[in-house]
């Protein structure tokens, strides 16, 4: 009871200055207008007393509102609400109620977003560990077998060393891709944009990859590109995109050819990499850009895939305001295309 009165009084004190000013004005008016009769003095005292009561009641109301707001804040901080409808303040505090609801909804969304990110991160770490484990255990297996005596067996020793070496290459590819991906995602990978000649650029990339295509019995064709055609972008990072997509076309094509086109449009150049390969099932098309997603894990691993190439390519193209698109038909072939600014 006493505490209540004290806290109401405390709230009233906020208006103390206004109150003193009020008393001063009343007193001044009284002095000027009155002849100081007893009755007038009584009226004066009555007015002062009434104003004291009013200011106390105002403080009390204010205190009640503060208690209401404090209880809402306490409930939010102890997670008592499940939605904004549960946040209710008195009618006269409607605008404050709306502001609190907005703030609550926003922090709720932020928390949900952070939780989702945390989940994706944990899943990514689990995937990375799994991907690292496979080559490490395989290399370990070959080394142990060699140490247990296979090193002296001329029929298998070289083969085991070759296999262990293949897995160290896979491991290093994976680490390189992981470093690229983390640099892209953390924004550390700076792009360096400039104009460069498309014909020279594609000729060089295709000639570097021709050998790998021929080894797989495939023809790698670069269709004629206008000599003076230039695009604007990061030459080195875009090379990673072209190499990855052409390499995939070679990896996932058993017979036939891989073709590269550069079609000139009004403001862009449209690049198409087309193969006559195994194709991608409809339900996987939207997923092949996800990190570690592969249609056929075993095939991807056997051809040295990391499952990260297209995720990296997508990021690099996004940094160029471009989007990679795919058309594919199972057992017929796939077509990857994207545009770059002229
Ligand atoms: P990977 O290292 O496994 O090739 P990518 O991210 O480059 O990883 O590709 C993801 C998956 O998309 C591949 O594992 C493969 O299943 C599929 N893919 C990509 N390119 C082609 C293609 N040209 N033809 C068929 N499948 C493809």
Query: Which residues are paired to 185 by β-bridges?
Result: none
Q: Ligand 1: which of 181, 254, 294, 325 to mutate, most ligand atoms within 8 Å of CB?
A: 294
pLDDT higher than threshold 70 for residue 12: no
| Ligand 1 site residues, Cβ closer than 6 angstroms | 244, 248-249, 252, 275, 277-280, 288, 294-296, 300, 305-311, 334
pLDDT higher than threshold 80 for residue 285: yes
pLDDT in tens, 81-137: 988 999 999 888 889 999 999 999 999 999 999 999 999 889 899 999 998 998 899
Ranking 45-59, 78-92, 310-324 by mean pLDDT, the lowest is 45-59
pLDDT in tens, 206-254: 999 999 999 999 999 999 999 999 999 999 999 999 999 999 999 999 9
**Ligand 1 centre from 149 Cα, in Å?**
39
**What are the residue ranges of helices labelled H in the chain?**
2-13, 16-33, 38-77, 94-147, 157-185, 198-215, 235-251, 282-285, 297-302, 309-319
**Ligand 1 atom nearest to CA at 253:** 24
Give me the mean pLDDT over the 52-56 stretch: 85
CB 260 within 8 A of CB 223: yes
**Atom 20 in ligand 1: which residue has the minimum CA distance?**
248
**Ligand 1 atom nearest to CA at 333:** 24
| CA atoms of 21 and 135, how far apart (whole Å) | 83
CB 219 within 8 A of CB 257: yes
**Atom 14 in ligand 1: which residue has the minimum CA distance?**
294
Greater model confidence, 341 or 61: 341
**Ligand 1 centre from 302 Cα, in Å?**
12
Ranking 146-155, 194-203, 244-253, 295-304 by mean pLDDT, the lowest is 295-304
Q: How confident is the model at residue 24 (pLDDT cuts 50, 70, 90)?
A: confident
**Ligand 1 atom nearest to CA at 177:** 2
Predicted local distance difference test score (pLDDT) of residue 36: 67
pLDDT higher than threshold 90 for residue 319: yes
**Ligand 1 atom nearest to CA at 301:** 3
Residue 56: HSE in the Cβ half-sphere, 13 Å Cα cutoff: 10
pTM attached to this predicted model: 0.74
Give me the mean pLDDT over the 53-79 stretch: 89
Predicted local distance difference test score (pLDDT) of residue 6: 74
Q: How confident is the model at residue 186 (pLDDT cuts 50, 70, 90)?
A: confident
**Ligand 1 centre from 288 Cα, in Å?**
7
Predicted local distance difference test score (pLDDT) of residue 317: 96
**Ligand 1 centre from 37 Cα, in Å?**
102
Ranking 36-50, 84-98, 202-216, 282-296 by mean pLDDT, the lowest is 36-50
- Going by C-alpha positions, the residue among 127, 13, 128, 122 that lies closest to residue 63 is 13
């Amino acid at each position: 009871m006493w505490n209540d009165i004290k806290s109401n009084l405390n709230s009233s004190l906020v208006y103390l200055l206004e109150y003193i000013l009020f008393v001063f004005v009343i007193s001044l008016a009284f002095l000027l207008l009155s002849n100081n009769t007893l009755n007038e003095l009584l009226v004066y005292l009555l007015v002062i007393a009434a104003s004291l009561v009013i200011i106390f009641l105002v403080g009390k109301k204010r205190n009640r509102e503060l208690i209401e707001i404090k209880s809402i804040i306490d409930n939010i901080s102890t997670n008592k609400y499940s939605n904004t409808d549960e946040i209710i303040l008195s009618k006269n505090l409607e605008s404050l109620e709306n502001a609190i609801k907005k703030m609550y909804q926003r922090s709720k969304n932020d928390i949900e977003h952070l939780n989702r990110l945390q989940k994706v991160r944990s899943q990514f770490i689990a995937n990375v560990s799994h991907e690292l484990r496979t080559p490490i255990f395989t290399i370990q297996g070959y080394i142990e077998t060699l140490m247990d005596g296979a090193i002296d067996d001329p029929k298998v020793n070289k083969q085991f060393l070759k296999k262990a070496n293949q897995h160290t290459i896979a491991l290093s590819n994976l680490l390189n891709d992981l470093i690229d991906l983390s640099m892209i995602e953390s924004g550390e990978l700076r792009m360096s944009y400039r104009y460069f000649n498309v014909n020279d650029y594609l000729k060089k990339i295709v000639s570097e990859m021709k050998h790998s295509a021929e080894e797989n019995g495939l023809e790698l064709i670069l269709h004629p590109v206008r000599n003076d055609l230039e695009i604007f972008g990061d030459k080195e990072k875009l090379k990673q995109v072209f190499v990855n997509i052409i390499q995939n076309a070679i990896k996932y094509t058993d017979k036939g050819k891989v073709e590269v086109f550069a079609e000139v449009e009004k403001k862009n150049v449209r690049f198409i990499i087309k193969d006559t390969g195994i194709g991608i099932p409809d339900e996987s098309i939207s997923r092949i850009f996800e990190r570690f997603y592969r249609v056929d894990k075993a095939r991807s691993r056997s051809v040295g895939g990391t499952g990260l190439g297209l995720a990296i390519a997508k990021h690099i193209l996004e940094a160029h305001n471009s989007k990679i698109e795919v058309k594919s038909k199972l057992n017929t072939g796939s077509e990857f295309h994207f545009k770059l600014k002229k």
